Structure 1
Amino acid sequence: MTTLPAVSQHNPWTTLGAEVRYENNWIRVVENDVINPAGNPGIYGVVHFKGVAIGVLPIDAEGCVHLVGQYRYSLEAYSWEMPEGGGSPSVSPVEEAKRELREETGLLARQWRELLRIHTSNSICDEHGVIYIAWDMDQTESEPEDTEDLIIIRMPFARVVDLVLDGAITDAMTVAAVLKAQLLAERGQLPEDVAKLMLGR
């Protein structure tokens, strides 16, 4: 197993004070007065997330991924992604992933495996994500939230990999999930049934 070098876990920053600048049901923005590692005073703004980012890479019986298209208000741009959403920290991440997959796509999966955990933007926020791969699925009716105007498409997994490599898919959690799933499938580190679907073998 590859390991990282041992380093000091000491925090080189000194926090002199903190003030909440904004808060709603989903985030809290805090401005911190700090002394940075070089010994200079300054400020550091941090966005604290109250939920957990959840993502699901769904692989159907024909080896296709179900992608979700939606306009992302924060980016002012359209985005193609795997099914994603916010989960409650008081609920099991896999249960929240099942809910998110059902709501956005209507899919019910019998097989689940945690794919990775990720920090989404660790220079300015503490949000972390949990991503699953799901397969062996049945189709039911979707139940999107009223803030979601979604388009769902099916695409072979290999084509989704190409779109990630070409830069057409830019959502960070989707990019990480697709590339890790591809690598694990090629290395024989995913269950054989889903790996064969993904790789077309």
Structure 2
Amino acid sequence: MSGKPAWLRSHGAPWVRGAARPIYDNPWISVTEYAATAPTGNPATYGLVSYKNLAVAILPLFDDGTTILVGQHRFPAGDYSWEIPEGGGPLDRDPLESARREPAEETGLQAADWREILQAQLSNSVSDERAIGYLATGLSPAEGSHHADETEDLARVRVPFREALDAAVVGELQDVLTVAMLFKAYHMAREGHLAPALARAILG
């Protein structure tokens, strides 16, 4: 970012990582415990969850101002969640390549146009997981055969963008990437950063 305001600069001393002790490891995450020194100079024990994939989120937008949400049961919270298409990709792979795969697998759609609109740190007090979000337009049925992960039982619904945004506002959609992407697209529409016809359609 060029010309960023002065308040965005860092201040004080950073965390210092000392001896590391591996706690847990699987194909998706690892947990490491560090003997650390806090920015205050005090010693601390810090547990870090490291992710082996980059999170990718895709907001599909149809020309009529509707979007696709995917419903599924989520293990950590033990609840049912409606979300935009999301997934993960290897850290050493172009994230757009990973993102292109998700709508086909989760919704049966492909997109002609892709635009990165979000970068985010997810739960950055305990994990190093990062996310990139894309706006996908020019939607059409995906070519070829695509299947969701063998552990996923997905539902799909096509809803007006404003209906999805309103659901996020009142807390009925709680997935953080879904909420962030809906608000980012709304902001872009209000600020003239989307094609005028599409902006009018999603603003309703």
Which stretch of structure 1 is more off in the superposition, 130-139 or 32-41? 32-41
Q: Report if aligned partners of 1:105, 1:142 keep a CA contact under 8 Å in 2.
A: no
Shift of 1:191: 2.5
Shift of 1:142: 4.8
1:160 paired residue number = 164
Q: Report if aligned partners of 1:113, 1:134 keep a CA contact under 8 Å in 2.
A: yes
Aligned partner of 1:168: which letter?
E
Output the TM-score relative to the length of structure 2.
0.91
Partners of 1:4 and 1:46 in 2: CA distance? 30
Pairing partner for 1:119 from 87, 98, 121 = 121
Structure 2, unaligned stretches of length 5 or more?
none
SS of the residue 1:115 aligns to: strand
SS of the residue 1:158 aligns to: helix
Output the TM-score relative to the length of structure 1.
0.92
Instruction: State, as a whole percentage, how many aligned pairs show the same letter.
Output: 40
Q: 1:132 to 1:180 in 2, by over 3 A?
A: same
Q: Deviations over 1:108-145 (max 9, x none)?
A: 11011111100011100011000001111112465211
Q: What RMSD in Å do the two structures reach over aligned CA positions?
A: 1.7
SS of the residue 1:147 aligns to: coil
Q: 1:95 to 1:196 in 2, by over 3 A?
A: farther
Partners of 1:69 and 1:79 in 2: CA distance? 6
Equivalent positions of 1:38-117 (< 5 A) are 38-117=40-119
Q: 1:120 to 1:151 in 2, by over 3 A?
A: same
Q: Report if aligned partners of 1:107, 1:142 keep a CA contact under 8 Å in 2.
A: no
Partners of 2:6 and 2:163 in 1: CA distance? 33
Q: Deviations over 1:141-191 (max 9, x none)?
A: 652110111000011001011001010000011111000110110110123
Point out 4+ residue stretches in structure 1 off by more than 4 angstroms: 8-11
Q: Deviations over 1:20-60 (max 9, x none)?
A: 10011111111001122333222000111111000000012
Pairing partner for 1:191 from 186, 190, 195 = 195
Q: Report if aligned partners of 2:73, 2:79 keep a CA contact under 8 Å in 1.
A: yes
Structure 1, unaligned stretches of length 5 or more?
none
Pairing partner for 1:133 from 135, 139, 149 = 135
Q: Report if aligned partners of 1:64, 1:156 keep a CA contact under 8 Å in 2.
A: yes
Between the two proteins, the alignment pairs up a number of residues equal to 200
Q: Report if aligned partners of 2:13, 2:40 keep a CA contact under 8 Å in 1.
A: no
